[in-house]
Amino acid sequence: MTATRVLVLNSGSSSVKYQLLDMRGGARLAVGLVERIGEETSRLVHTPLLGDAGGKRERTAPIADHAAALKAVAEELAADGLGLDSPRLAAIGHRVVHGGLRFTEPTVIDEEVLAEVERLVPLAPLHNPANITGIRTAQALRPDLPQVAVFDTAFHTTMPESAARYAIDTETADRHLIRRYGFHGTSHAYVARETARLLGKDPEDVNVIVLHLGNGASASAVAGGRCVDTSMGLTPLEGLVMGTRSGDIDPAVTFHLMRVAGMSTDDIDVLLNKKSGLVGLCGDNDMREIRRRIDAGDERAQLAFDIYIHRLKKYIGAYYAVLGRVDAIAFTAGVGENAAPVREAAVSGLEELGLALDSGLNAERSDGARLVSTPYARVAVAVVPTDEELEIARQTFALVSENALG
Ligand code: ADP
C-alpha cells in the first residue's frame, strides 16, 4: 500500500490546527482545530470530508496539553477510518514560524534541527516554542514517521542583502541576528505560483506583487518565482497596517513613549502588536465591521480604512519600482480574498502603472482563483485564495518522496 497521506499540523501556544490530505490529487480527508488547550473550556472541532463520513463533530471536555490534544485528534481521525497508525500516512508536516537564515527549504526534523529551531526562539518567542511542542508531541505519537518542518521565513531567504539588511551598525546587527526575515512565506510562495498558473505562464517568467491581507498582513515582490523583497522584517510588526499591528512607524516613537509616557518595553510591545493597526485606529479589526461602519457614515472607520489603503498603495508603488516590470498583483487571505472595496481602493488611480479593475468582476464573490482586472490592463489583478496547509503538505510530500527514492 503506498503511503500518500500527509497530516499537516499548525501548533500555536494554546491551539492546534490540522488537516489530513491525500497527495494523490491533493484531496482533503479531514480538517479540524483544537483550541483553548490547558483551559476548562477546551474545544475540538473535527470535520471529516470523505464522501459519507458525516458532518462536523465537536468535543468540549478540557484538554490539558498538546499531547492530550493530539491524542484526541488521533481518536477522531481513527473514528473516520483515518487513524494515524495507518500505513497510508507518509509524513507529518509542521508549520514552523522562524527558520532564521539556516532553513531555506523544508527540512526533515531530527534532534539537531530541533535544537536549531530552539536556538531561534528569541526571534519568535511566541511561535517557535509552540511549534517545537507540536513536533515533540507528534514524534512521540509516531516515532517511526518522517516529520518535516516547513518554515514561514524560508521563501524570503532569497532576498538580496540590499533588501534584507537594516541600515544599522553591521556588527551589532550580525551579533544579534538583526535583519529582515519576512513571514507568511508559505502563502506568498503558493499564491505567486498559482497566479502564474492563472496567467497560463511558467512561474519563472512572471513578476508578481503578492498582497497577503489577513489579520496579519504582508506584501512581497516576487521575481520569476523568487522573493526579492517583503514587508515584514525581524518580526511580523513591520510593513502594512494590520488588524492589530501598526506596521511601519518611526522607531523613535518607542523611545518617545519610554521617555515621555513612561511606558515599559512590554507596554510598547503590546501597544504596537495588539492595540494598533485598524483596532487602534477605530476600535475594530474586522474589515466587514469597518465597511459596515463606513456605510453608516462613521468617520473614524473611514480614516482607519484610508490609512490602511494609503500604506498598501505605498507598498504597491515600492514593489513596482523594486521589480521594474510587474505582470500581476495578487490579493489573498481574509481581507484580500473577500473585501472588494479594499482591492478597488488599493489600485484606484494607478492606471498609469497599467492597473485597471473590472468593477463587476471585482464585486463578484467566488472561492476560486480569478482575474478581476479589465482585459486591456497591462498588469493583471488576481484574487487567489491562499492554501498554506496544501502548500505545507505538498512540500512535505515532495521531500519525503525524494528521500524515499534516494
Ligand atoms: P489570519 O491572519 O488570522 O489568518 P485571515 O486571513 O483569516 O486572518 O483574515 C481574517 C480577516 O479577514 C478578518 O479579521 C476580517 O477582517 C477579514 N475578512 C474575512 N471575511 C471577510 C469578508 N467577507 N469581507 C471583508 N473582510 C473579511
Query: Do 201-388 and 5-151 have the same topology in CATH?
Result: yes
| 278-293: pLDDT as tens digits | 999 999 999 999 999 9
pLDDT over threshold 80, residue 325:
yes
- Respond yes or no: is residue 152 known to be catalytic: yes
Give the architecture-level CATH label for domain 5-151. 2-Layer Sandwich (3.30)
What are the distances in angstroms from CA 140 to CA 84, 135, 345, 346? 12, 9, 50, 47
pLDDT (tens digit per residue) in 347-404: 999 999 999 999 999 999 989 999 999 999 999 999 999 999 999 999 999 999 988 8
CA terminus-to-terminus distance, the chain:
19
271 alpha carbon to ligand 1 midpoint, in Å? 21
Question: How high is the pLDDT of residue 406?
Answer: 67
* pLDDT tens column, 3-47: 999 999 999 888 999 999 999 988 999 999 999 999 999 999 999
Ligand 1 pocket mutation, candidates 244, 290, 335, criterion most atoms within 8 A of CB: 335
188-214 residue pLDDT tens: 999 999 999 999 999 999 999 999 999
**Which grid coordinates belong to 12?**
500555536
CATH 3.30.420.40 fits 201-388, yes or no: yes
Whole-number mean pLDDT of the chain?
95
Report the candidate in 161, 306, 319, 308 with the shortest Cα–Cα distance to residue 231. Answer: 319
Annotated ligand binding at 216? The verdict is: yes
Is residue 1 over pLDDT 70?
A: no
The CA distances from residue 13 to 9, 17, 125, 151, 369, in Å, are 13, 11, 10, 17, 32
Do residues 212 and 332 touch, judged by C-beta distance below 8 A?
Answer: yes
C-alpha cell at 287: 474589515
14-24 residues labelled b (16+ CB within 10 A) or e (exposed): bbbbbbbbbbe
> Which residue has 505560483 as its cell numbers?
193
The atom number, within ligand 1, closest to the CA of 386 reads: 6
Which of 22, 80, 152, 284 does the annotation list as catalytic? 152
Give the span between the Cα atoms of 180 and 160, in whole angstroms: 11
Pocket test for ligand 1, best of 35, 191, 286, 389 (most atoms within 8 A of CB): 286
The per-residue pLDDT for 53 is 66
pLDDT, position 13 = 83
**Residue 337 marked ligand-binding:** yes
Instruction: To the nearest 10°, report the CA torsion of 357, 363, 364, 370.
Output: 30
So what's the pLDDT on residue 337? 97
Tell me whether residue 213 is annotated as binding.
yes
Residue 136 has pLDDT above 70, yes or no: yes
Query: Tell me: the pLDDT tens digits for 93-127?
Result: 999 999 999 999 999 999 999 999 999 999 988 88
Q: Is 0.85 surpassed by the pTM of this model?
A: yes
User: What are the extents of the domains in the chain?
Assistant: 5-151, 201-388
